[in-house]
Chains A and B, each alone.
Chain A
Amino acid sequence: MIRLTCQHCANFNDDPAFIEAEIPGLTSFGSAYSSARGHAGICLAFDRFMDPVLAENCPSFTPRAPKREERTTRQETPHDVSPGRE
């Protein structure tokens, strides 16, 4: 059973190149590719920079389109998750 987090949401973007483009000045003395960012990304629904959390109670959760290899193997649906937060 997969617990859905922000990382499964289409509104959550943790691509370092995207983060650097969205936060002006970030690359001057920092980097979105650095360890300091951890797993954080930008939630486009709430316009927040955040660590991913459990997302099943999130009203804006939108399942991310699975990648090609996931489409052929993945059995779970968004409804398989347990409620709660991470």
Chain B
Amino acid sequence: MSSEKERSPLLVEEDWWTVWFGLAILLIATVFGMLALSGNISAKKVPKIGKWSTNPVDALYAEKKTQIDVEEGTTLAGLADAITSAQAGATAEVVFENGGARLRVATSRTGDGQTISVSEQLTGGTAELRFDQIEPDSGGLGAAAFTSQILPSADVEIGAGKLTVTSQRARSIVFPLIVTVIFLMLLTVIGVRVMGQNAGGYLLAFVAIFIVATLSFVIANQNTINAYGLSYAAWALLLGLLVSNTIGTPGWLKPAVRTEMYIKAGLVLLGAEILFGKILSIGVPGLMVAWLVTPTVIIFMWLYGTRVLKIVSKPLVMIIAAATSVCGVSAAIAVAAASRAKKEELTLAVGMTLIFTVLMMVFMPMFIAWVDMDPVLGGAWMGGTIDSTGAVVAAGAFLGPRAEAVAAVVKMIQNILIGAVGFLVALFWITSVERDPDAPRPGLMQIWVRFPKFIVGFVAASFLFSFVLAPLFASLFDGDGLKLVESSVLKAMTNPLRGWFFCLAFVSIGLESNFADMAKHLEGGKTLLLYVVGQSFNLILTLLVAWLAFSVLFPNVI
């Protein structure tokens, strides 16, 4: 029964494995990036699901963007020649209508039904081109053509600028997608196996969850849906919820439903995208939000629960207080262990936390967008209040990358407190609740034992990016090191893989959230009142401190 702790925490703790996953990916991406920059191999990219309008199959093709420099004095006819000769997967011609001329750009029809789009950034001159999409071609392969507005003649000068031609069906991403799923599956199954989980069951289940994640990206990348701002995070969550609340999440899928593992691995990779200095600049106001509010809310909820509501079970009060103010389930298990809670008390607190976490994860970003709150302030507010790290990242993703980064960093700063809260609660329990003079005091080592180690990986990845890889790339390839790492390592590999990890986590959240099961834990009375009053106090205080920290004292941190 009690055997797994005899092995090193480096091998049995999920937190450490997420560090190994993240750093392994960063290392592999760095090697590929260096080989590509040195010309030894062609640039390798982790595929991103493409955009589509009417045919979802378009999503499984990569785009090819070709930028055409247009010189001053170029005529409409000259621009048509330039587009055609750029070999951008498109041909252009001038068509005459109603006594005028317009530019028509269409598929070259050499590929498998390429769809092209044209955007223009021409400035100056006598004409400013605007392109409108016209009906797809009769081939029905998704090809389309674009025409400009009617100009007086083909000789009109259209000024200088850059024209981008996007070929949306440049090449299929099906094979790179298969390589990606195999890579992620093999990488993570090592950890799953060593931790002693069901590795055999994990393999098949992982593929199934990856397919749902792919479907989330495909739906989110439909142009109309995309225009409404419904991101992949929302669709991943919705698809997961749909499965769990209709047919129920099948048992064979559960070995790969590992929200925490995916989200932590993604956060380690996020560290590589944030400059170390930026973490420090978010960190100062983040510390204010996380470390000022958290102890205040714990003390408030403890006093409110024990003295006002007079709840008999003191462990239950403490677990709910810690779960509300620190980081949900993780804090709940740390504090339950320290206060020796009954199993049903922990179960009740976890269940109640889940319900409000899901509600806050969905409604807080909606409220923030509705009141047009600054995304940085909104991110900090969500990071300080939504109970779980996974839910914080999902809610941040609904609002965009800035909110996502701030929310994640604030939450991680709050996560650091888990060990300290567990230690202090254990001490408080012995000295003030149980009042057992013979009981030995908890060791300070407990703070490190419960420290969320993935944060070490997040900081290490940022440090590597800022102080190792950037100078190394600058010296090896003679250029701006940061930009070189960004283009060849981060954008090519780690950023899209982070997106996949997050998407897998959001699908997992949905698959784990069954409303009927949750409702069973929604006990009314004093426990519910404690949570609602405590969380309301948390929301108000966190918003106030976040506004003070991120809008007044330290504005423009990101």
- Using CB atoms and an 8 Å cutoff, list the residues of chain A in contact with chain B: 6-10, 12-18, 22-42, 47-52, 54, 64, 67, 84-86
A-B contact pairs, 14 of them (CB 8 A): A7-B2, A14-B2, A15-B1, A15-B3, A16-B195, A24-B521, A26-B333, A29-B512, A30-B388, A36-B450, A37-B333, A38-B422, A38-B450, A39-B449
Interface size of B as a range: 35 or more
Chain A residues within an 8 Å CB radius of B346: 23, 49
Q: Pick the contact of A40 from B12, B337, B347 — CB < 8 Å? A: B337
Given the contacts A24-B517, A28-B329, A33 and B2 also touching, CB distance less than 8 Å? no
Chain A residues within an 8 Å CB radius of B219: none
- What is the CA–CA distance of A52 and B443 in the complex, to the nearest angstrom? 13
Chain B residues within an 8 Å CB radius of A24: 347, 350-351, 517, 521
Determine the residue in chain A with the shortest Cβ distance to B197.
Answer: A17
Q: Is the CB of B331 within 8 A of A29?
A: no
- What is the CA–CA distance of A73 and B347 in the complex, to the nearest angstrom? 40
Chain B residues within an 8 Å CB radius of A36: 330-331, 333-334, 418, 422, 450, 452
A-contacting residues, B378-422, CB 8 Å: 387-391, 418, 422
Q: Is the CB of B440 within 8 A of A38?
A: no
Q: Is the CB of A26 within 8 A of B329?
A: yes
Interface stretch (choices B178-186, B258-266, B271-279, B469-477): B258-266
Contact flags (1/0) for B14-36 with A, using CB distance below 8 Å?
Answer: 11100000000000000000000
Determine the residue in chain B with the shortest Cβ distance to A10.
Answer: B1
Whether B435 sits at the interface, judged by CB under 8 Å, is: no
Which of A12, A29, A51, A85 has the most chain B CB within a 10 Å cutoff? A29
Determine the residue in chain B with the shortest Cβ distance to A27.
Answer: B512
Given the contacts A38-B422, A51-B426, A23 and B350 also touching, CB distance less than 8 Å? yes
Main secondary structure of the interface of B (DSSP, over half): helix
Whether B124 sits at the interface, judged by CB under 8 Å, is: no
Q: Pick the contact of B337 from A9, A38, A67, A84 — CB < 8 Å? A: A38
- What is the CA–CA distance of A35 and B331 in the complex, to the nearest angstrom? 11
Q: Is the CB of A14 within 8 A of B1?
A: yes
- What is the CA–CA distance of A15 and B12 in the complex, to the nearest angstrom? 11
- What is the CA–CA distance of A85 and B430 in the complex, to the nearest angstrom? 12
Q: Is the CB of B259 within 8 A of A37?
A: no
Q: Nearest chain A CB to B456's CB is how many angstroms away?
A: 10
- What is the CA–CA distance of A54 and B5 in the complex, to the nearest angstrom? 17
Q: Is the CB of A25 within 8 A of B337?
A: no
- What is the CA–CA distance of A39 and B13 in the complex, to the nearest angstrom? 11
Q: Is the CB of A50 within 8 A of B333?
A: no
- What is the CA–CA distance of A33 and B341 in the complex, to the nearest angstrom? 19
- Using CB atoms and an 8 Å cutoff, list the residues of chain B in contact with chain A: 1-5, 9, 12-16, 195-197, 257-261, 328-334, 336-338, 340-344, 346-347, 350-351, 353-354, 357, 387-391, 418, 422, 426, 436, 438-440, 442, 446, 449-453, 509, 512-513, 517-518, 521
- What is the CA–CA distance of A32 and B333 in the complex, to the nearest angstrom? 9
Q: Is the CB of B450 within 8 A of A14?
A: no
Q: Is the CB of B2 within 8 A of A8?
A: yes
Q: Is the CB of B343 within 8 A of A34?
A: no
Q: Is the CB of A34 within 8 A of B512?
A: no
Q: Nearest chain A CB to B516's CB is how many angstroms away?
A: 12
Q: Nearest chain A CB to B466's CB is how many angstroms away?
A: 25
- What is the CA–CA distance of A85 and B437 in the complex, to the nearest angstrom? 11
Chain A residues within an 8 Å CB radius of B2: 6-9, 12-15, 41, 52, 64
Chain B residues within an 8 Å CB radius of A9: 2
Q: Is the CB of A30 within 8 A of B257?
A: no
> Which 8 pairs between the two chains have the least Cβ-Cβ distance?
A30-B329, A40-B337, A29-B388, A33-B14, A36-B330, A28-B512, A31-B260, A50-B340
Q: Is the CB of A85 within 8 A of B343?
A: no
Q: Nearest chain B CB to A4's CB is how many angstroms away?
A: 12
Q: Pick the contact of A26 from B341, B350, B436, B450 — CB < 8 Å? A: B350
Given the contacts A14-B2, A24-B517, A31 and B337 also touching, CB distance less than 8 Å? no
Given the contacts A15-B1, A84-B438, A25 and B334 also touching, CB distance less than 8 Å? no
Q: Nearest chain A CB to B387's CB is how many angstroms away?
A: 7
Chain A residues within an 8 Å CB radius of B439: 85
Determine the residue in chain B with the shortest Cβ distance to A32.
Answer: B333
Q: Pick the contact of A28 from B334, B347, B422, B513 — CB < 8 Å? A: B513
Chain B residues within an 8 Å CB radius of A17: 196-197
Q: Nearest chain B CB to A56's CB is how many angstroms away?
A: 13
Chain B residues within an 8 Å CB radius of A27: 257-260, 512
Q: Is the CB of A31 within 8 A of B261?
A: yes
Chain B residues within an 8 Å CB radius of A42: 343
Q: Is the CB of A29 within 8 A of B357?
A: yes
Which of B12, B341, B343, B387 has the most chain A CB within a 10 Å cutoff? B343
Q: Is the CB of A30 within 8 A of B260?
A: yes
